[in-house]
Structure 1
């Protein structure tokens, strides 16, 4: 199983948001620079995160993006669903009804176990463990001030 590169970038981006102090914003340009990404590409990812209600865009001189939800509640699964959607990873294509496909049943059970794990894992756990994140955030906060 493989997630898209957009999911990889979205998870890393959300880690920066979770590590920021509550109410602080950060611009797409700065986020793109820190991650060595195209601002245009990152903007598309941020748009999906906004549509999912994980972040919001704030206009103005000190504008940018910020979290809309409690950082302690944000799970890996929230971000993955925002980028990848919620469709099942596997679909039985043997011509049988999906209800009677035994392979589909096994795959769905495995997917449910994985999703439950990702739902329980919170981004804030990594933000607290990442020793390099404070230095990057300190620089970001100084620029945002």
Structure 2
């Protein structure tokens, strides 16, 4: 998984604390973690294509969440950045082994492939069961000063 997933997750979490209707420019979002703006902008554009954030042009423009945090799962963000492909891709190595049958679909018959597929499904289920709102609530409980400090920095206060 790329580093872009981590930055997208943190950035989306930070956007949950913005006042309604407020947007933050990529440069300010990038400065928050000392990232190159072009790098973060690439992640933000992927999130926008997925309908997770929206962008507003102009001097007061920037990014904000496109829907409520309760309707954004961690899986939504991961898939927006990484794509929907499974982490494990069976290359059907058994087709090259002794006693192989060229007519067999080893992606279905291989027990390793099946185990990896089940693990991928479990991972996706876990991420799909966690929303940005739930993460926000956990952060607010564990780090009560984080929302106001984040909002102040993002709003240039």
Normalising by structure 1, we get a TM-score of: 0.89
Secondary structure at 1:21 match in 2? coil
Aligned to 1:92: 90
Deviation at 1:23, TM superposition (A): 2.0
TM-superposed CA distance for 1:42, in Å, is 0.7
Question: Distance in 2 between the 1:102 and 1:139 partners?
Answer: 51
Which residue number corresponds to residue 115 of structure 2? 106
Unpaired segments ≥5 residues, structure 2: 96-103
In the alignment, what sits opposite 1:55?
A: 53
Specify which of 7, 13, 17 is matched with residue 15 of structure 2: 17
Q: How many residues align?
A: 141
- Identify the residue that residue 115 of structure 1 maps to in structure 2: 124
Q: Is the 8 A contact 2:17 2:150 kept in 1?
A: no
1:33 aligns with 31
Tell me the SS of whatever aligns to 2:4: helix
Q: Measure how far apart 1:24 and its partner are.
A: 1.5
Task: State TM-score, norm by structure 2.
Answer: 0.82
1:129-144 alignment runs, 5 A limit? 129-130=138-139, 131=143, 132-141=146-155, 143=156
Pair 1:125 & 2:123 matched: no
CA radius of gyration, larger in:
2
Q: CA deviation at 1:43?
A: 0.8
1:32 touches 1:38 (CA, 8 Å); kept in 2?
Answer: yes
Query: What is the root-mean-square deviation in Å for CA atoms of aligned residues?
Result: 1.6
Q: Which runs of 5+ in 1 are unaligned?
A: none
Does the aligned pair in 1 maintain the 2:30–2:37 contact within 8 Å?
yes
| TM-superposed deviation, 1:92 | 2.0
The alpha carbon displacement at 1:15 in A equals 0.8
